[in-house]
């Protein structure tokens, strides 16, 4: 579906209701086109993580979602990336890999899916950057230590060009995964990844982290990226008192 409106697109976080349904439809379309993943396959893969999943989305003023990202928060079934390390082609103990990386699975977010529709109006790059901005600000305001993901290599290259560098999880390598010919399990400690990007690539830092210069996309204030009550209990044990993908 092409949109012809000249109005701003809008970035949303922790979407609910009709917008959540639209985000799931976007996820389904993107991953079917990119990797041949059917809705049944997506349900089999991500269904166990449904109660721990939060969606960010970029929509037009009619509620049509042009790009969406599934974030898996800590919870009873763990993080999908770490769980899937035991599968081919890796055959790695996810908990052991996490310990070697200094990764606290109780205070990391897993980026399950991220994609933009092929027919999206405006800059697909800007929509992707807006979704990454949601991840960055979301981890910041919710005091989450970092992210993990299994990244399709084209998406990883794009992030590397922006000096948003996510190291490979210990014991793993690039391999086939869920229809992707080349995907790599990665992780990043939020503070160190953002500090490196700020020093090495100020322009990318301005776009991704600060959300400045994402022309045509309305970016909400940081407090809009705070998880709503339904998901806060899953993070509570790791929070002090008061961080795959097709791009």
Query: What's residue 213's pLDDT?
Result: 94
Q: Can you give the pTM of this predicted structure? A: 0.89
Do 148 and 78 contact (CB within 8 A), yes or no?
no
pLDDT tens digits, one per residue of 24-73: 999 999 999 999 999 999 999 999 999 999 999 999 999 999 999 999 99
Q: What is the mean pLDDT of residues 118-139?
A: 92
Query: What's residue 53's pLDDT?
Result: 97
Query: What's residue 36's pLDDT?
Result: 97
The alpha carbon torsion through 150, 151, 152, 155 (nearest 10 deg) reads 170
Long-range CB pairs of 86-89, under 8 A, 24+ apart, other chains included: 88/175, 89/173, 89/175, 89/176, 89/177
- Could you tell me what percent of the chain has a pLDDT over 90? 86
Using the structure block, give the residue that is written with the tokens 């166990």: 48
Query: What's residue 6's pLDDT?
Result: 58
Residue, of 66 and 239, whose pLDDT is higher: 66
The answer on pLDDT for 108 being more than 70 is yes
Instruction: Name the residue among 177, 188, 210, 247 with its Cα closest to residue 30.
Output: 247
Query: What's residue 238's pLDDT?
Result: 40
The answer on pLDDT for 167 being more than 50 is yes
pLDDT tens digits, one per residue of 60-107: 999 999 999 999 999 999 999 999 999 999 999 999 999 999 999 999
């Amino acid at each position: 579906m092409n949109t012809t409106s000249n109005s701003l697109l809008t970035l949303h976080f922790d979407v609910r209701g009709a917008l959540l349904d639209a985000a799931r439809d976007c996820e389904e379309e993107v991953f079917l086109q990119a990797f041949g993943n059917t809705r049944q396959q997506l349900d089999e893969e991500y269904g166990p993580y449904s109660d721990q999943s939060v969606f960010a989305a970029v929509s037009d003023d009619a509620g049509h979602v042009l790009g969406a990202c599934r974030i898996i928060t800590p919870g009873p079934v763990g993080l999908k990336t770490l769980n899937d390390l035991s599968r081919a082609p890796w055959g790695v103990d996810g908990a052991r890999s996490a310990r070697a990386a200094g990764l606290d699975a109780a205070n990391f977010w897993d980026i399950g899916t991220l994609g933009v529709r092929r027919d999206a109006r405006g800059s697909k790059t800007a929509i992707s950057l807006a979704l990454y901005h949601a991840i960055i600000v979301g981890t910041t305001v919710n005091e989450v230590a970092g992210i993990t993901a299994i990244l399709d290599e084209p998406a990883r290259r794009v992030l590397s060009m922006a000096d948003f560098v996510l190291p490979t999880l210990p014991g793993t390598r690039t391999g086939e995964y869920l229809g992707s010919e080349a995907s790599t399990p990665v992780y990043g400690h939020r503070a160190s990844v953002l500090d490196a990007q700020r020093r090495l690539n100020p322009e990318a830092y301005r776009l991704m982290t600060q959300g400045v210069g994402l022309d045509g996309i309305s970016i909400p204030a940081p407090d809009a990226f705070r998880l709503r009550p339904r998901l806060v209990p899953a993070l509570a044990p790791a929070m002090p008192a008061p961080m795959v993908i097709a791009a």
